[in-house]
Amino acid sequence: MRSPFLARLHALASSDRLAVEDDLVRRSFAELHDRALRARATLCEGRPSLDGRRVAILVSPGAAWVEAFLGVVLGGGVALPLSPLYPPGELAWFGDDAGADTLVFSADLAPRAVELAKGRRVVNVETIADGPRDEAASISEIAAIAADATALLLYTSGTTGKPKGAMITHENVAVQAALLREAWGFREDDRLLHALPLHHLHGLGISLLTTLLAASAARLLPRFEATRVWNELADQRVTTFMAVPTMYQKLFECFDAADEATRARWAAGARSLRLATSGSAALPVTLAARWKELTGSIPLERFGMTEIGVGMSNPRDPAARRPGFVGPALPSVESRIVDDAGHDSPTGPGELFIRGPSVFKGYWNRPEATLAAFADDWFKTGDIAERAEDGAIRLLGRTSVDILKSGGYKLSALEIEEALRENPAVAEVAVIGLPDEVWGDRVVAVIVPAAGAEAACSTEAIRAWARDRLAAYKIPRETVLVAALPRNPLGKVVKPELIQSLRARAPAPI
Ligand code: MCA
Ligand code: AMP
């Protein structure tokens, strides 16, 4: 078998150990594999293979999501996981951009899927595994899937307006999972509590696939909800938990509001975890310290990116973790720090470049963007880093003021500005991120209203208007109205100036 991802999956195909469970079903590896092969046959519709066709997945998190996803990759197709948080128009845009010819959906999301479904074959996830397997075709076809074939397309925001689909190969998936299995010591008896979205690499690759390919089990929650997560931890049936910093923040808000007996139960649950990790955004040292107070160790913080998987990780040994650092590079991940003049700077600060077998193969249908993202074969992360003597990396920010991180989601200020410019009440707009304890970056739209249109540019009016056009987490939390935007002699908005002036004012609500 040429795909190391599928070879690993195949090696687990006869295991009766638990693989995934949700609120309704439990599936062993053998059952999961069998159902994925049935899903494969449904998707292939008698053809030997999906042959690189893109299949959109708009399914609520759970065992059925995993079956559909594995059905696509076992079929030699490319999975396009989508989030129900996107409004219908944006979902259709993803389907079109990826050229997906099939949509797998779950009944609860059918109303969201109407526009996306147009012109595509639709398959209901509830019945996708009901049919027979296609033994004859599957054995030889699956064995022929190449290591560098694209397994999934994950859309990520950049500095160029609309998101780009990162092509993650079968080899990328296998390498990333193997690196983390080793670094974080996954064992067969590990059980992951999974509350992350499945349309990003953190929830899908780093958490779910690492767990499954290590022969451990994943317990999938329908969504992140702090009380639910605490109660799951308190049951002490899970051993690992992966989260973005905002989730830790929300967990503590919920913890502080609970009574003493509940807090004691929850704290015991958190202490029983073998491993709690944090990533996708900087973990404030104060949050790390609170987790340590509760459990005895700070979360394991690591640095990752859709395009590279996890690049740097703090050590598994809690005593060796350094707050504020993301650790040294993982084995096989090569890293460089390059200063403004383009020279290597061993300690930095400068832009972090990454190379190695976990790095993606390019952006779907965007050869120029792919070219621009690399310097020779080094991927340019856009993150500014410095390196300590022991090799540990500290992240200092990003090279572009137009990339924001809110609750672990990467957002493009330009994309949000483009959407807001469609509003006739908006004459000019600049979207910025202001530092925020809960969200990391708080998205603020600074607007010059059209004549007489001030009311239509209020926070409430703009948020209501944007609801059908942008995913909920991209919608600015606040608008600030100004007479003019600060511009440089070339007419470009000077965002650092805006950020500074708005940081200086009293904190705003929401
Ligand atoms: C939800 N809202 C948000 C966000 N999430 N607003 C801004 N930023 C967000 N991230 C909106 C909701 O739509 C709602 O809007 C309001 O905030 C309150 O929602 P709430 O219930 O408080 O939020 P939640 O549903 O609990 O979501 C918080 C969350 C979520 C669980 C932290 O944002 C999340 O799942 N984040 C994970 C993102 C992630 O997986 N990133 C990985 C990228 P309204 O009031 O208008 O309805 S991959 C990556 O970064 C690399 C590979 C790596 O290193 O990991
Ligand atoms: P994404 O494109 O959504 O995969 O997000 C990747 C970006 O998340 C990186 O380029 C970093 O800016 C940020 N990121 C991930 N992990 C961390 C971390 N531990 N600390 C700070 N930023 C992080």
Residue-wise pLDDT tens digits, 190-236: 999 999 999 999 999 999 999 999 999 999 999 999 999 999 999 99
**Position 247, amino acid:** M
Query: How high is the pLDDT of residue 251?
Result: 98
| pLDDT surpassing 50 at residue 510 | no
Query: How high is the pLDDT of residue 506?
Result: 62
Ligand 1 neighbour 406 (Cβ under 6 A): yes
Q: Of ligand 2's atoms, which has the minimum distance to the CA of residue 306?
A: 4
| pLDDT surpassing 70 at residue 508 | no
Cα–ligand 2 centroid distance for 510 (angstroms): 24
Ligand 2 neighbour 199 (Cβ under 6 A): no
pLDDT in tens, 228-250: 999 999 999 999 999 999 999 99
**310: pLDDT confidence band, cut at 50, 70 and 90?**
very high
| pLDDT surpassing 90 at residue 504 | no
**Position 152, amino acid:** L
Q: Of ligand 2's atoms, which has the minimum distance to the CA of residue 307?
A: 4
| pLDDT surpassing 90 at residue 353 | yes
Ligand 1 neighbour 166 (Cβ under 6 A): no
| pLDDT surpassing 60 at residue 188 | yes
Ligand 2 neighbour 147 (Cβ under 6 A): no
Cα–ligand 2 centroid distance for 64 (angstroms): 29
Helix residue ranges, H only, 105-209: 110-117, 135-143, 170-184, 201
The whole-number average pLDDT for the span 44-53 is: 95
The whole-number average pLDDT for the span 394-420 is: 96
Per cent of the chain over pLDDT 90 is 95
| pLDDT surpassing 80 at residue 130 | yes
CA distance 248 to 409: 15
The whole-number average pLDDT for the span 239-266 is: 98
The whole-number average pLDDT for the span 281-290 is: 96
Ligand 2 neighbour 395 (Cβ under 6 A): yes
pLDDT in tens, 81-112: 999 999 999 999 999 999 999 999 999 999 99
Ligand 2 neighbour 398 (Cβ under 6 A): yes
Ligand 2 neighbour 306 (Cβ under 6 A): yes
| pLDDT surpassing 90 at residue 447 | yes
Structural contact between residues 332 and 353, judged by C-beta atoms closer than 8 angstroms: no
Cα–ligand 1 centroid distance for 437 (angstroms): 14
- C-beta atoms surrounding 46 within 10 Å: 7
Cα–ligand 1 centroid distance for 389 (angstroms): 35
Q: Calculate the average pLDDT of the chain.
A: 96
The whole-number average pLDDT for the span 398-423 is: 96
pLDDT in tens, 132-166: 998 877 788 999 999 999 999 999 987 777 899 99
- C-beta atoms surrounding 490 within 10 Å: 5
Q: What spatial distance separates the first Cα and last Cα of the chain, rounded to whole Å?
A: 52
What domains appear along the chain, each with residue ranges and CATH number?
1-147 (3.40.50.980), 300-398 (2.30.38.10), 403-503 (3.30.300.30)
Query: How high is the pLDDT of residue 136?
Result: 72
Ligand 1 neighbour 280 (Cβ under 6 A): yes
